[in-house]
A and B are shown apart, each in its own frame.
Chain A
């Protein structure tokens, strides 16, 4: 094994924070939806994928400047999230939870096939944006500017989100609904609207994550969202599903695990995608409620 220099360590540190921040944006969507519907939204990874394509086409076909293109892409993704909820999850509100899970798998499958038809299965290149992709050198460590922007953007969005959830009326409605639909309804909360807003926020965050993901890993194809999607769900579970801060912590942890294991054990790089699943199984066995979550016992 070659020696690990301090430069390599710093480099990896930057990579881990960037990757973890990207995971965090997507993981939050999972955690919010799970918190309110008790559903692993298998389609979240495909929402992520769709928003990369949206951004791609707004830049390449609509010829918009990148900031407008990204903004539109984010808006479209938010709307997509609402549509999916309305079409595929709301009809099953009274159905067993497993039906909801199956429906989300169905949506995921549908979106992949839809992407093949709309955008073709041929790999596309995410449009470059110099401002993010320029490389700068800080103390011998060469990093993309992206590695600085990503954690910053994530931090700002998380703070805004926490404010939204904890301090605003809609946030209060969300927290109430995640405890109990019936009671919330009796208290005059429009639960359907709250769920729609939750999906919208989750999708918007996923879109931001997807765009930055595209800038960092610029290959787009219809299956590009599945694996990051599952990993981010795992991040949410590690942190404690249903808990926004937990999702961020879990995501950062997962970013570190993936980058640093490969740094220390280069031979394992082929198994990189398996780390997350191993971490998932370990956490489920050791502390199923996640790092931050509360323990819930089943009532009999």
Chain B
């Protein structure tokens, strides 16, 4: 019952093979981590899954409910993939800088809107209702991630850790079934980092999610993940449970000297 499967997904940039023959499978409700040294191709894998890049070779398959019949989403437009139920956050935070925290979250609900532009401008009752619903939903989400007090502040004026949480809230607002988190702990302070594990588990349960995350912080990875994939120079060098990965020779080798960056 997998939600996401990649089949031999490969991404080349000129001579560089950023991701080489990636085969991952994520089951419904799982929290799976993608780890590896800098430049291993983790973000590139996310970009292939979310349609930012079209894989040079291979396929990406997705089924919202984790059923048998998986549909290929290879090379589909990012917005369509999001509509199908995959949401993501970005490693190098990409908030809408000139908008408030609330507007950032409301934007992510635009994909559900049914009113047309003119209906919206005229203030048609249907649009009015939709706008209300978006706003209530956004405020609820902000409350959930603890950003309600900052709702009317400029998104980029938030401290780093809160910006990360806002990115997660924004991704949740698209109502995904698969959530991709690209280094959610980067830039968070120690307390926030400690809370992250629990937070991700909670939102998984609350919003009925499947989570695939990239993280350098080993403690989080080991605590949070059901399973782990390890990339190095684009190649998948290991896969397994946290215990298996911790004792894997090749992984230790790849991380030698790089281990525990924080």
Direct chain A–B contact by Cβ atoms under 8 Å: yes
**Interface residue ranges, A against B (CB under 8 Å):** 297, 300
Chain A residue nearest to B78 in the complex (CB): A300
In the complex, how many angstroms separate the beta carbon of A99 from the nearest chain B beta carbon?
15
Interface string of B43-59 (1 = CB under 8 A from A): 10001000011000000
Q: Which B residues from 46 to 91 make CB contacts under 8 A with A?
A: 47, 52-53, 90
Interface string of B1-18 (1 = CB under 8 A from A): 000000000000100000
In the complex, how many angstroms separate the beta carbon of B54 from the nearest chain A beta carbon?
11
A297–B47 alpha-carbon span in the complex (Å):
12
| Chain B contacts for A297, CB-based, 8 A | 13, 53
Decide if A300 touches B43 in the complex (CB within 8 Å).
Answer: yes
**Interface residue ranges, B against A (CB under 8 Å):** 13, 43, 47, 52-53, 90
6 A-B residue contacts at CB 8 Å? A297-B13, A297-B53, A300-B43, A300-B47, A300-B52, A300-B90
Chain B residue nearest to A297 in the complex (CB): B13
A300–B53 alpha-carbon span in the complex (Å):
9
A187–B262 alpha-carbon span in the complex (Å):
30
Majority SS of interface residues in chain A?
loop
| Chain A contacts for B90, CB-based, 8 A | 300
Considering the complex of A and B, which 6 residue pairs feature the smallest CB-CB distances, nearest first? A300-B52, A300-B47, A297-B13, A300-B43, A300-B90, A297-B53
A300–B13 alpha-carbon span in the complex (Å):
13
In the complex, how many angstroms separate the beta carbon of B183 from the nearest chain A beta carbon?
13
Chain B residue nearest to A298 in the complex (CB): B52
| Chain B contacts for A300, CB-based, 8 A | 43, 47, 52, 90
A253–B13 alpha-carbon span in the complex (Å):
30
A29–B28 alpha-carbon span in the complex (Å):
57
Chain B residue nearest to A295 in the complex (CB): B14
In the complex, how many angstroms separate the beta carbon of B196 from the nearest chain A beta carbon?
23
In the complex, how many angstroms separate the beta carbon of A288 from the nearest chain B beta carbon?
16
In the complex, how many angstroms separate the beta carbon of B194 from the nearest chain A beta carbon?
29
In the complex, how many angstroms separate the beta carbon of B10 from the nearest chain A beta carbon?
15
A285–B39 alpha-carbon span in the complex (Å):
31
A86–B219 alpha-carbon span in the complex (Å):
52
| Chain A contacts for B43, CB-based, 8 A | 300
In the complex, how many angstroms separate the beta carbon of A231 from the nearest chain B beta carbon?
32
In the complex, how many angstroms separate the beta carbon of A15 from the nearest chain B beta carbon?
40
A297–B52 alpha-carbon span in the complex (Å):
10
| Chain A contacts for B47, CB-based, 8 A | 300
Chain A residue nearest to B46 in the complex (CB): A300
In the complex, how many angstroms separate the beta carbon of B195 from the nearest chain A beta carbon?
27
Chain A residue nearest to B91 in the complex (CB): A300
| Chain A contacts for B53, CB-based, 8 A | 297
| Chain A contacts for B13, CB-based, 8 A | 297
Chain A residue nearest to B13 in the complex (CB): A297
A73–B90 alpha-carbon span in the complex (Å):
53
Chain A residue nearest to B90 in the complex (CB): A300
A300–B47 alpha-carbon span in the complex (Å):
8
In the complex, how many angstroms separate the beta carbon of B156 from the nearest chain A beta carbon?
15
In the complex, how many angstroms separate the beta carbon of B167 from the nearest chain A beta carbon?
14
A37–B254 alpha-carbon span in the complex (Å):
39
In the complex, how many angstroms separate the beta carbon of A228 from the nearest chain B beta carbon?
35
In the complex, how many angstroms separate the beta carbon of A73 from the nearest chain B beta carbon?
44
In the complex, how many angstroms separate the beta carbon of A299 from the nearest chain B beta carbon?
9
In the complex, how many angstroms separate the beta carbon of B101 from the nearest chain A beta carbon?
23
A188–B14 alpha-carbon span in the complex (Å):
30
In the complex, how many angstroms separate the beta carbon of B41 from the nearest chain A beta carbon?
13
| Chain A contacts for B52, CB-based, 8 A | 300
Chain A residue nearest to B44 in the complex (CB): A300
In the complex, how many angstroms separate the beta carbon of B204 from the nearest chain A beta carbon?
25
In the complex, how many angstroms separate the beta carbon of A11 from the nearest chain B beta carbon?
45
A269–B53 alpha-carbon span in the complex (Å):
43
In the complex, how many angstroms separate the beta carbon of B104 from the nearest chain A beta carbon?
18
A297–B90 alpha-carbon span in the complex (Å):
17
A297–B16 alpha-carbon span in the complex (Å):
13
In the complex, how many angstroms separate the beta carbon of A96 from the nearest chain B beta carbon?
12
A139–B52 alpha-carbon span in the complex (Å):
59
In the complex, how many angstroms separate the beta carbon of A293 from the nearest chain B beta carbon?
13
A297–B13 alpha-carbon span in the complex (Å):
8
